[in-house]
């Protein structure tokens, strides 16, 4: 599947679908993951192996613990979250908008746990400098027992909730 990560034009203002993960999020989850299928660069701090939009992470094999911060647009986001749910070994960072079909099908019914974060995250720009905060809060979602343990031990302020899907 060829994934389109283009920016969207809204009211004459460019709004990106890519929000890059700050390093402190990864550190709070125990350090680098094995794979990031939605990284901005192949040498990003999130994982030992990174797929960029040019590599098309949905079409590649996923191995090990996955960190997923997908583009926040439909239908791309739901394809990546569904793939992570199928892989069952990873943590996703998403908007805390849980009133949609994707959340009911691939998060509430398939994930091990979730953690709603207290504060809005300042995401990064591609050059690594501090960027903007999104219009709503964020949630970390764990798939698999190993990643559930990482999320339980995550020291970021927020509310951890076990979903009892294991």
pLDDT digits (tens, 9 = 90+) for 102-155: 999 999 999 999 999 998 998 888 888 888 787 889 999 999 999 999 999 999
pLDDT of 151 reads 98
How far is it, in rounded angstroms, from Cα 119 to Cα 108?
A: 22
Q: Which tokens go with 76?
A: 């791309």
Partners of residue 160 on adjacent β-strands:
115
Is it the case that residue 1 has pLDDT exceeding 70?
no
Q: Contact, 109 vs 165, CB < 8 A? A: yes
Q: Contact, 89 vs 64, CB < 8 A? A: yes
The predicted-structure confidence for 9-29, as pLDDT tens digits, reads as follows 333 333 555 678 999 999 999
The domains of the chain are located at: 11-162
The set of residues, in sequence order, having a beta carbon less than 8 Å from that of 48 and lying 6+ positions away, is 32, 33, 34, 35
How far is it, in rounded angstroms, from Cα 1 to Cα 95?
A: 23
Give me the CATH code for the 11-162 domain, please: 3.40.50
The whole-model pTM stands at 0.87
How far is it, in rounded angstroms, from Cα 38 to Cα 80?
A: 9
């Amino acid at each position: 599947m060829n994934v389109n990560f283009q920016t969207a034009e809204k009211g004459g203002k460019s709004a990106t679908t890519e929000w890059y993960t700050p390093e402190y999020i990864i550190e709070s989850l125990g350090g680098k993951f094995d794979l990031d299928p939605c990284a901005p660069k192949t040498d990003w701090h999130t994982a030992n192996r990174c797929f960029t939009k040019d590599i098309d992470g949905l079409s590649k094999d996923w191995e090990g613990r996955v960190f997923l911060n997908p583009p926040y647009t439909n239908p791309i986001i739901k394809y990546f979250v569904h793939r992570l749910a199928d892989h069952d070994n990873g943590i996703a960072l998403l908007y805390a908008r849980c009133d949609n079909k994707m959340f009911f099908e691939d998060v509430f019914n398939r994930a091990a746990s979730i953690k709603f974060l207290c504060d809005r995250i300042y995401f990064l720009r591609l050059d690594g400098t501090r960027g903007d905060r999104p219009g709503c809060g964020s949630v970390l979602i764990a798939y698999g027992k190993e990643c559930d343990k990482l999320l339980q031990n995550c020291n970021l302020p927020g509310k951890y909730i076990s979903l009892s899907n294991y």
